[in-house]
Copies of this chain bind each other. A is one copy, B any other.
Amino acid sequence: MGRTIEIYDTTLRDGTQAENFNISVDDKIRITQALDRLGIDFIEGGWPGANPVSAEYFQKIQGMSLKHAKVAAFGSTRHFRNTADKDPNLLSLLDARTPVITIFGKSWDVHVRDALHIGLEDNLLIIEDSLAFLRPKVEHLFYDAEHFFDGFKDNPDYALATIGKAIDGGAETIILCDTNGGTLPHELPPIIDRVKQYLEGCSRKVRLGIHSHNDSESAVANSLLAVSLGIDQIQGTINGFGERCGNANLTSIIPAIVFKMGLACEVRKHIDRLYTTSRLVNELANLPNNRYQPYVGESAFAHKGGIHVSAVRRNPLTYEHIEPDKVGNIRRILISDQAGNANVLHKAKKWGLKLSASDPLLATITSELKELENQGYQYEAAEASFELLMRRVLGLQRNYFKFESFRVIIHKVDMERAPITEATIRLYVGGDEVHTASMGDGPVNALDCAMRKALTRFYPCLEEMVLTDYKVRVLTGEHGTEAKVRVLIESRDHVCSWSTVGVSVNILEASWQALVDSINYKLMKEDNRK
């Protein structure tokens, strides 16, 4: 096993700079926990000085214990006008009370003049000064040399001098940043060699890191090259989200250093979580998965007919650079049901349902699954609906109620105020007709409330059940509001949580399907507990 590489994730800071990437504080917490489970060493949570959401995040995270990861707060060197101990940005970093603080400073003389409007010497002063102020107050202190590569190409001596000052100030790791993402791989080796020479003459030993952006579609390659040149820390984001074209993509970097370069890192132990972590981030950011994404994409190990398929069957290495399950992904042989059948059998076993490979019902389930997926249903994120589907085909699913009708009325009478929403529902439980009505914040909420009113009398356990998440995705934008929508609902009781799905051109119909599945799943769980 080679030397140990530190993985520094900035999905929650630089990643949120990506266009259309907006997540709540609670989602940031969920991602933090997932990154910790994955074995990420450092998690950059945000810039407390720059926006309130970050400050709230750091307050919430302080109370929580993580298995391995250390949370980092990010900020700039002090403003030239302030002394360090009076600089609001530096003080907000200390308020975040994180084990790690990462400070960025200017390495490029053009930026010192055109962005900071101060002298080159002044910039050197605030770098050393800001770090020296923080050094005794924090466990780990990192320095991001912003625009280092552009700065070096422009004025190498000055770029190196800024690093020197960061070291004098007490930085323990110096991260070389390709902030504009313009650096090409062949430019890296001479620059990094020169930096290593320079470091030998410095006051203290430090570790080196790299922070790349993908504007030249070389962020992953540059990061891996840097590692092969002896760099110890890689900064990147899950799925490569970030400003403009994004940051270095950790879901491609980590498998390369683990499986191909044989280097050590904490993630090595949990790398089969890479796929689910990648999906979680997309899901919470409500951005589609990139099917062509290396290692974790749906197509990454998909083989179309002909030569490839037969060769892969005989020897997967003929057309795959690694085995998909190493990163939690699966091989897909397109134009063949075998993947489908295997998947169904796997789930049946998992859920304790009797189903053998020779059972004719297997084909029924697989083809029904295919048909529904063609209609837009997606069961990866809604396993409860999939289990109900299997139980229905296998004749194991009870009907807990008989639907008669529902009506939802949304009435708006004031331009300034939200509409009034009322739902009524009629159904039968056993012999009894139930007819209930309810108001709601919106049509789905009103329908949900009316349903519960109707059923809780007969099935009190439904009171334990709450909806914890509701997601809507428009499947084809082609026909505007006539497009199909897929609704994913996540529900929870005191024991566990489950997800269900519905699809329709009518968003209320799609929501209704997911609601009904969610209630049926809860009631089925209760029956099986008895």
Which residue numbers of A lie inside 8 Å of B, CB to CB?
A: 17-20, 22, 24, 26-27, 50-51, 110-111, 114-115, 179-182, 184-186, 214-218, 220-222, 224-225, 228, 240-241, 243-246, 249, 252, 256, 260-261, 286, 290-295, 297-308, 310-311, 314-315, 317-322, 334, 337-338, 378, 380-381, 403-413, 415, 418-419, 421, 440-445, 448, 466-478, 480-483, 485, 489-491, 504-509, 511-512
Task: List 4 additional contacts besides A24-B475, A243-B308; criterion CB under 8 Å.
Answer: A421-B506, A442-B507, A445-B505, A469-B474
- CB of A405 within 8 A of CB of B410, answer no
What is the CA–CA distance of A406 and B184 in the complex, to the nearest angstrom? Answer: 58
Question: Once the chains are docked, how many angstroms separate the CA of A185 from the CA of B24?
Answer: 37
A419-B26 contact, Cβ under 8 Å, with A182-B260, A305-B243? no
**Which B residue's beta carbon lies closest to that of A415?**
B403
Q: Measured between C-beta atoms, what is the minimum distance from A155 to chain B in Å?
A: 14
Can you sample 16 A-B contacts with CB below 8 Å?
Answer: A19-B298, A19-B334, A24-B478, A51-B338, A180-B319, A184-B221, A185-B224, A185-B228, A290-B290, A406-B411, A441-B481, A441-B505, A441-B506, A442-B504, A470-B483, A472-B473
Q: Which residues does chain B contribute within 8 Å of A300, judged by CB atoms? A: 215, 244-245
Partner of A480 from B225, B246, B295, B470 at Cβ < 8 Å:
B470
Contact of A442 among B405, B470, B508 (CB under 8 A): B508
In the complex, what's the smallest C-beta–C-beta distance from A529 to chain B, in angstroms?
23
Q: How far is the CA of A51 from the CA of B307 in the complex (A)?
A: 13
| A245 with B292: CB separation less than 8 A | yes
Residues of B near A215 (CB, < 8 A) are 294-295, 300, 321
Report A472 CB to chain B, min CB distance, Å: 4
> Are A480 and B509 also in contact (CB < 8 A) when A115-B311, A215-B294, A318-B115 are?
no
By a CB distance below 8 angstroms, the chain B residues around A318 are 110-111, 114-115
- Which residue in chain B gives the minimum CB-CB distance to A30? B477
Residues A481 and B444 in contact, CB atoms below 8 Å apart: yes
> Are B26 and A476 touching (Cβ within 8 A)?
yes
A511 to B179, CA, bound (A): 38
Give the chain B neighbours of A290 by CB distance below 8 A: 290
- Inter-chain CA distance A381–B287, complex, in Å, is 14
Task: State A418–B286 Cα separation when bound (angstroms).
Answer: 26
Cβ of A480 and Cβ of B468 under 8 Å apart? Answer: yes
Q: How far is the CA of A288 from the CA of B182 in the complex (A)?
A: 25
Minimum CB–CB distance for A114 against chain B, Å: 5
Within the complex, which residue of B216, B249, B317, B481 is in contact with A110, where a contact is CB–CB below 8 Å?
B317
> Residues of B contacting A478 with CB < 8 Å?
24, 26, 468-469
- A410–B443 contact, CB under 8 A? yes
A241–B292 CA distance with the chains assembled, in angstroms = 9
Cα–Cα, bound, A480→B286 (Å): 15
Which of B51, B304, B321 is within 8 Å of A19, CB to CB? B304
A22 to chain B, nearest CB (A): 7
CA A415 to CA B467, docked complex, whole Å: 22
CA distance A291 to B240 in the complex (A): 13
Are B216 and A256 neighbours in the complex by a CB distance under 8 Å?
A: yes
Compute how far the CA of A188 lies from the CA of B60 in the bound complex, rounded to whole angstroms.
47
Cβ of A78 to closest chain B Cβ, rounded Å:
15
- Is there contact, CB below 8 Å, between B217 and A252? yes
List of B residues within 8 angstroms of A228 by Cβ: 184-186
A22-B241 Cα distance, complex, nearest whole Å: 28
Q: Judge whether B481 and A410 touch: CB under 8 Å.
A: no
* Contact (Cβ within 8 A) B476 A18: no
Which residues of B have CB within 8 Å of A110? 315, 317-318
Assembled-state Cα–Cα distance A490/B483 (Å):
13
Chain B residue, CB-CB nearest to A259: B182
Closest to A219 in B: B217
Determine the chain B residues whose CB is within 8 A of the CB of A286 once the complex forms: 473-474
Residues of B within 8 A of A186 (CB): 224-225, 228
A291 to B470, CA, bound (A): 22
Residue of B24, B27, B308, B480 near A467 (CB, 8 A) is B480
Q: A292-B246, A334-B19 are in contact. Are A508 and B221 (CB under 8 A)?
A: no
Task: Determine the chain B residues whose CB is within 8 A of the CB of A297 once the complex forms.
Answer: 245
Determine which of B184, B225, B295, B482 lies in contact with A256 in the assembled complex, contact meaning CB atoms within 8 Å. B184
Instruction: Tell me whether B412 and A409 are in contact (CB under 8 A).
Output: no
A209 to chain B, nearest CB (A): 18
Query: Which of B111, B306, B311, B475 is the one whose CB lies under 8 Å from A311?
Result: B111
Chain B residue numbers with a CB within 8 Å of A310 are 115
Q: How far is the CB of A469 from chain B (nearest CB, A)?
A: 3
